[in-house]
Structure 1
Amino acid sequence: MTLEIRDGLRKVGYIFFSSHRPKDSIVEIAERFGKPLVPWENGLIQTLVPRTKAAPNSYSGIYGLDRFPFHSDLAHWRTPPRYLLLRCITGFADVPTLMIDGHDLIDAVSLDVLGRAIFKPRRPREGSVSLLRLCEPVDDVVRVRWDEVFLKPASRIGEVANLRVREWLSICTPIALSLAETHDTLLIDNWRMLHARSPILAGRETRAIERVYLEALH
């Protein structure tokens, strides 16, 4: 199974499992795939639900029920989580998860520009501000990071990259994949794929998706 997962992620950057292992919890599934990551205290599982009011420094606080922008999760961390696992509790076919392949982004903007673009987190983290590259080689892959809310350009080439990435994202065609049925499960390579939540339509406010991060596969 792990070899198939690795091959699938290498080919397209994500794997969808329809109504996957209904008797298992998301933690049990995460542990079957790899090593779960606790990003903050008591934060192993996050339940994502639409909110009209939330902390002002969160996506829900900024965008409410509107579409979230494309991003990689925790892109402002020096080492973002390697994978994210999403599992449907309550889903709807007309509220898909949108994805963009970072390889296509590299082809569109160029590895030279993205590799030299320096960004910094919008706010200090743990008392310091890290300078981060949008693209950088890590082991045998090129890690892509992007978040127009929590990352800001910190160099001239960063300003150029910021404009080019935003322009390309505004015209590209994303992959739309719906976590519609209970236990539908989606594993995403967070170092490759950018993702976004589509708008929450009227009557879809009960949508609930569980999320667990993985730092590695078995």
Structure 2
Amino acid sequence: MSHTFKDLVARHGYAFVREHCPGTDTIAVANSIGQSVEPWKGGAVQDLVPRSSSTPNTYSGIYGLSHFPFHTDLAHWRFPPRYLLLRCVNGYADIPTLLLDGEAIIEAVTLDILTRAIFKPRRPRQGRVQLMRLYESGSDGYCFRWDEVFLQPSSRIGDIASQRIHEQFKKCNPLSIALERSGDTLLIDNWRMLHARSPIPAGREDRKIQRVYLENLH
């Protein structure tokens, strides 16, 4: 099954398997698919539960139960996690995860602009403000990053890239994938795909999705 995930992600940028190994620990499922990473101490598995208010400078603190905008997870890090796995504990059909293929955005905005667009984190990380590009290529392929909350343009080309990306968002028809049954598992290439969360309707505050970051796939 791990090869199925790997093949689908390589082809489409994501893989979705319904009711995958229900009852199995999320970290065990993640490690059967790839090599999990702990982005911060005690954070190998993160429980994503809707909150009307939360810590400032977090998506829940900013948007509450409203729609989360399209983004790359941890886009303000020098190297964002390569993959993220989302696994349903308690879900609903009317709260889909939305996906946009970065390849379509890259084609529309153009590599020339994206490779020259300089951005900076909204706040210093570990006491430093590190400039970074929206698109970078390397031995493992390319990394396309985006986050309108935690990344800010730091050049004229950055302003242009930001404007064109927002224009492209208005034209895109995102994929809609509902994690609704226990074990429903969505694996996303975080260097290619952008994802967003739908608004949380009243009475759905007990939704619970678990997230694990992976650095590679088996």
Query: Equivalent residue for 1:17?
Result: 17
Q: AA paired with 1:178?
A: A
Q: What's the CA shift string for 1:122-177, capped at 9, x where partnerless? A: 00101111111101112242211000000000111001001111121133111000
Q: AA paired with 1:32?
A: S
Query: Equivalent residue for 2:198?
Result: 198
Structure 1: distance between partners of 2:6 and 2:44: 23
Q: Counterparts in 2 of 1:74-153, with a 5 A limit?
A: 74-153=74-153
Structure 1: distance between partners of 2:62 and 2:110: 30
How far 1:5 sits from its partner (Å)? 2.5
SS at match of 1:148: coil
Structure 2: distance between partners of 1:121 and 1:167: 22
Structure 2: distance between partners of 1:80 and 1:165: 19
Q: TM-score, normalised by structure 1?
A: 0.97
User: Does structure 1 retain, via aligned residues, the 8 Å contact 2:90–2:180?
Assistant: yes
Query: Equivalent residue for 2:172?
Result: 172
Would you say 1:72 and 2:72 are equivalent positions?
yes
Query: Equivalent residue for 1:213?
Result: 213
Equivalences, count: 218
Q: What's the CA shift string for 1:90-127, capped at 9, x where partnerless? A: 10001000000000110111111111101010001011
SS at match of 1:81: coil
Superposition CA RMSD, Å: 1.0
Q: TM-score, normalised by structure 2?
A: 0.97
Q: AA paired with 1:132?
A: M
Question: Tell me, which stretches of 5 or more residues in structure 1 are unaligned?
Answer: none
User: Does structure 1 retain, via aligned residues, the 8 Å contact 2:23–2:183?
Assistant: no
Q: AA paired with 2:183?
A: H
